[in-house]
Amino acid sequence: MSTQTTTEIPEAAAVPPPGAAPAKKVPQGHRRLLTRRDRLTLGLMATLPTILHVALVWVTALASIALAFTTWNGIGFDSIQWVGLQNFKELFTNNPQFWPAVEHNVIWFVALILVPTPLGLFLAVQLDKKIRFSRVYQTAFFLPVVMSMAVIGFVWQLVYNPDTGLINSIIGANKPGHYIDWIGDPDLNLWAVLVAASWRHTGYMMILYLAGLKGVDPSLREASALDGAGEWQTFKNVIFPTLRPTNTIVLVVTIIEALRCFDLVYVFNGGAQGTELLSILVTSNIIGESSRIGYGSAIAVVLLLISLVVIIPYLVSTFRKERRA
Amino acid sequence: MSTTTAATPVALKKRTPVRPARVVLHVVLASMALAWLAPLLWAVYAALRPYAETSEKGYVSLPDTLNLDNFINAFTQSDMTHYFMNTLVIAVPAVLLTLFLSSMVAFYVSRFDFRVNLFLLLVFTAGNLLPQQVIITPLYRMYLLIDLPGITMSGKLYDSALGLVLIHVAFQSGFCAFVLSNYMKMLPHELTEAALVDGASVWRLYWQITLPLCRPAMAALATLLSIWIYNDFFWALVLISTGENMPITSALNNLSGQYFTDPNLVAAGALLTAIPTLIVYFLLQRQFVSGLTLGANKG
C-alpha cells in the first residue's frame, strides 16, 4: 500500500498502517562522524521533550496507581495513609454510580461501533465513487468533527430541551403533562446523548475509511468487476478485506473515544443519573464537592487498566511491523 | 430523471446517461447531509430570532424578525474577546512548542539508530492514547504544589496559562512525534548522510535539512493541533479555577449560566465559539483531513 502512494503525496503514505513505511537502518559506522557537540545536541533533543512528556503523563499515571491505595485529603504529604485495597472494595461494592458508569462506557462503545462506524464506512464507500458533489457531502458530514464536544453539547441541548427544543416542539411534547425529558430522564438521556456522539463519530469514521479506500488498488476492483461480481460482492470479498489496517485503527479509536467521553455529557447534563461515566466520576472527585484523592485515583486505575488492554496489543502489533520493515 | 432519458441520442453520447441508481444515491446522500446539518441550522435559526418572539410564538414558527442582536449581545455582554485572547495566549505557544519538541524527538528516533528509539516512540505513543482522566488527579495535585511566584499570575502552575500550555505540549507531543517520525523515515537517507560527511552539524541537519522537507506534515499537524487545543474543554475545566482565566471553550459553560440567560443567547454564544474552528476548517480542510488520517491512531 505504501509503495503506490509514495509517488503522489508523501503524507498519504503514512496513512494506516502506521509504521508500514520502510525503515532503513542507518549503518552503525555513521556515528563516528558525530562530534562531541553533535552528541550533546542529540542527547538534549531526545531528553528535553521526553522529560516533559514523562513527568506530566507517565509519572502522573503511576502516581494515580500509587494514590489508589491510599487516602489523602490533599493537605500536606503527612496525611497520606496507606489503606490497601480499601478504595477498590468500596468502589466495587458500595458505590451506586460505579457499575452504571462501567455499563454506560460499554454501551457507549457498542453503540458507536454498531451504528456510526458502519454508517461512516457506507458513506466513505459511496463518496469514494467518482460522484458529483462528493466534496459538498463530505464537508457536511465532517463538520461536527471540527467542532468542540462542548459546542456539540450546547447545540444538542437546543434540540433536546424539553420546553423549547426542536424535537418536543415538533411532536407537541413540550406542554405540561406531555413532557418528554430527553436530558433528565435516566431511561432516555444516555440514548439522547449517544445520538449526538454518533452524529460526530460518523464523520470521523467516514474520513478514516476514505483514506483507507484511497489505498485500495483500483485494479482489484476492475478484476472483480470483470469476473462479474456485483457491487456488494466486490465490497464484501475484495474491498473490505483490504481495509483491515483501517479497521484496526477504527476499533482502537472508537474504544479510546468511548473511554474518554466526557465533555459532551458534562455540558449536556453534568453526568446526571442515567449518564454516569467513569471519566465523570474521576473528575467529580477532584472538582466536585468532595475531594477524595485516593478514591478518585482508584476509578482512574480502572480506566487505565481498561485502556491498557487496548493500547498494549495495538502498539505491540504496530511496532512489530515497524521492526520487521 | 425522465427528461434526461428522453434526451436525443447525440446528447446521450456526449454525457454518460444518468443511471437511476445514481439518482437514488444522490437523494440519499443529500437528505442525509441535510439531516446532518439540521442541528446546526436549528441553532443558527434560534440565534437569529429575538427571545421575546420565540417565547411568544414558540420555537417552531415562522420568523417575524431575524437579526444579529443575539450574537452581538452574547459577544459584548460576556466580554468574549477576553476569552478568545485567553485561548490565543494558550494555543499559539502550545502548537509551536509541540511541533518543535516532537520534531526533535522524531528526528532523533528516525535518523539515528540508537537502541532506545523504539522504546522512546512507544512511550510517547502510548502516553497519547491514555484517557486524560487517568492522569488528572495527580496532575491537579502537582499543579497545586508547584510554586512559581512572580512567573504566573496565580503564583502556581495551577490556574495559569503556562500550566495549560505545558500539559497540551506534553500530551500532544506523543501523537506528533509518532506521525513525524513515520514521515521522516520516508525521507531519503542519502540526504543526511551526505550532509554528515560534508561536516554539517546535527543541529543543521535537523533545522536546515530535515525540517524544511517536513513542511507538509508540519502544516497538517499545526492545523490539527490548533483545532484540538482550541476545542479543549477538560484540561482547562480542572486546571483553571478562576473563571476569568479560562479559554473560550471551557468558559462557555460558565457563561451560559451567567450571561446567556435564554436559549437564543446560548445558541448565539455556542455558535460564536465554533466560528474560529469553522474558518480554519474551511480554509485548511485539506490539511486538517490529511493530519487526521496521517496519524490515525488518535482518539
Give pLDDT tens digits for B88-129.
999 999 999 999 999 999 998 888 766 677 788 888 888 888
List of chain B residues whose C-beta atoms are within 8 Å of the C-beta of residue A53: 123-124, 127, 170, 173-174
CB-based contact, B225 to chain A, within 8 Å: no
Cell numbers linked to A178: 406531555
- Kindly report, residue by residue over B121-168, the tens digit of the pLDDT: 888 888 888 999 999 999 999 998 888 888 888 888 999 999 999 999
The confidence band for B82, taking pLDDT boundaries of 50, 70 and 90, is very high
Task: List all residues of chain B from 150 to 209 with a beta carbon under 8 Å from chain A.
Answer: 166-167, 169-171, 173-174, 177-179, 182-183, 185-186, 189, 193, 196-197, 201-203, 206
Cell numbers linked to B247: 479559554
Q: Which residues pair with B93 in a beta bridge?
A: none
Nearest CB to B281: which of A127, A146, A164? A146
What's the Cα-to-Cα distance from B189 to each of A20, A22, B57, B185, rounded to whole Å? Answer: 17, 11, 69, 8
Q: What percentage of chain B exceeds 70 in pLDDT?
A: 91
- pLDDT at residue A2 in the model: 37
Nearest CB to B263: which of A6, A164, A312? A164
Domain assignment present for B24: no
Q: B234 lies in which domain range?
A: 80-294
- Kindly report, residue by residue over A32-56, the tens digit of the pLDDT: 677 888 889 988 998 999 999 999 9
Domain assignment present for A12: no
Q: Which residues pair with A70 in a beta bridge?
A: A82
- pLDDT at residue A26 in the model: 46
Interval B40-59 mean pLDDT = 90
Q: Are A132 and B22 contacting, i.e. CB atoms less than 8 angstroms apart?
A: no
- Kindly report, residue by residue over B197-219, the tens digit of the pLDDT: 888 888 998 999 999 999 989 99
Q: Are the beta carbons of B293 and A311 separated by less than 8 Å? A: no
The confidence band for A14, taking pLDDT boundaries of 50, 70 and 90, is very low
Dihedral-angle region of residue A79 (phi above 0 means left; psi in -120 to 50 means alpha; beta otherwise): alpha
Residues in chain B: 299
Domain assignment present for B66: no
- pLDDT at residue A27 in the model: 46
CB-based contact, B259 to chain A, within 8 Å: no
Q: How many domains are contained in chain B? A: 1
The confidence band for B9, taking pLDDT boundaries of 50, 70 and 90, is very low
**B128, B133, B281, B289: which to substitute to probe chain A, counting the most A Cβ within 10 Å?**
B133
Q: Are A10 and B290 contacting, i.e. CB atoms less than 8 angstroms apart?
A: no
Look over chain A and give the mean of its residue pLDDT values, rounded to a whole number. 85
Return d(Cα B100, Cα A93) in angstroms, integer: 47
Q: Are the beta carbons of A53 and B127 separated by less than 8 Å? A: yes
Domain assignment present for B175: yes
CATH code of the domain containing B196: 1.10.3720.10
CATH code of the domain containing A139: 1.10.3720.10
Domain assignment present for A118: yes
Q: How many domains are contained in chain A? A: 1
Say if residue A313 is preceded by a cis peptide, omega within 30 of 0. Answer: no
- Kindly report, residue by residue over A249-279, the tens digit of the pLDDT: 899 999 999 999 999 999 999 888 899 999 9
Q: Is the pLDDT of residue B42 over 70?
A: yes
A70-71 and A81-82 beta bridge pairing: antiparallel
Domain assignment present for B257: yes
Nearest CB to B133: which of A13, A208, A262? A262
Return d(Cα B50, Cα B268) in angstroms, integer: 11
pTM above 0.90, yes or no: no
Q: Are the beta carbons of A260 and B203 separated by less than 8 Å? A: no
Q: Is the pLDDT of residue A25 over 70?
A: no
Interval A181-207 mean pLDDT = 94
Cell numbers linked to A164: 423549547
The confidence band for A30, taking pLDDT boundaries of 50, 70 and 90, is low
> Which residue shows C-alpha cell 505504501?
A2
Q: A266 lies in which domain range?
A: 98-275
Cell numbers linked to A4: 503506490
Domain assignment present for A86: no
Domain assignment present for A225: yes
Q: Are the beta carbons of A52 and B173 separated by less than 8 Å? A: yes
**End-to-end CA, chain B:** 43
Give the residue among A105, A103, A141, A150 at the shortest CA–CA distance from A266. A150
Q: Are B210 and B136 contacting, i.e. CB atoms less than 8 angstroms apart?
A: no
Cell numbers linked to A206: 467516514
Quickly list DSSP for A126-142: HHHSS-TTHHHHHHHHH
Dihedral-angle region of residue A9 (phi above 0 means left; psi in -120 to 50 means alpha; beta otherwise): beta
Q: Which residue of A has its CA nearest to B295?
A: A15
Q: What is the DSSP letter of A185?
A: -
A/B interface, count of CB pairs below 8 Å: 347
Interval A167-192 mean pLDDT = 87
Cell numbers linked to A199: 452524529
**B97, B125, B129: which to substitute to probe chain A, counting the most A Cβ within 10 Å?**
B129
B189 Cβ contact partners less than 8 Å away, ≥ 6 residues apart: A24, A26
Domain assignment present for B225: yes
Q: State the CB neighbour count (10 A cutoff) for residue A171.
A: 10
List of chain A residues whose C-beta atoms are within 8 Å of the C-beta of residue B189: 24, 26
Coil, helix or strand for B122? helix
Domain assignment present for B49: no
A242 Cβ contact partners less than 8 Å away, ≥ 6 residues apart: A215, A216, A217, A220
Domain assignment present for A29: no
- Cα three-residue angle B50-B53-B56, rounded to 5 degrees: 145
Q: Which of A284-293, B181-190, B289-298 has the lowest mean pLDDT?
A: B289-298
Q: Which residue of B has its CA nearest to A211?
A: B293
Q: Are A23 and A322 contacting, i.e. CB atoms less than 8 angstroms apart?
A: yes
Q: Are the beta carbons of B108 and A45 separated by less than 8 Å? A: yes
Nearest CB to A63: which of B59, B121, B138? B138
- pLDDT at residue A178 in the model: 79
List of chain B residues whose C-beta atoms are within 8 Å of the C-beta of residue A314: 129, 297
Return d(Cα B128, Cα A53) in angstroms, integer: 9
Q: Which residue of A has its CA nearest to B172?
A: A53
Higher pLDDT, B107 or A8: B107
Cell numbers linked to B201: 552539524
Helical packing angle, B248-258 and A149-160, nearest 10°: 30
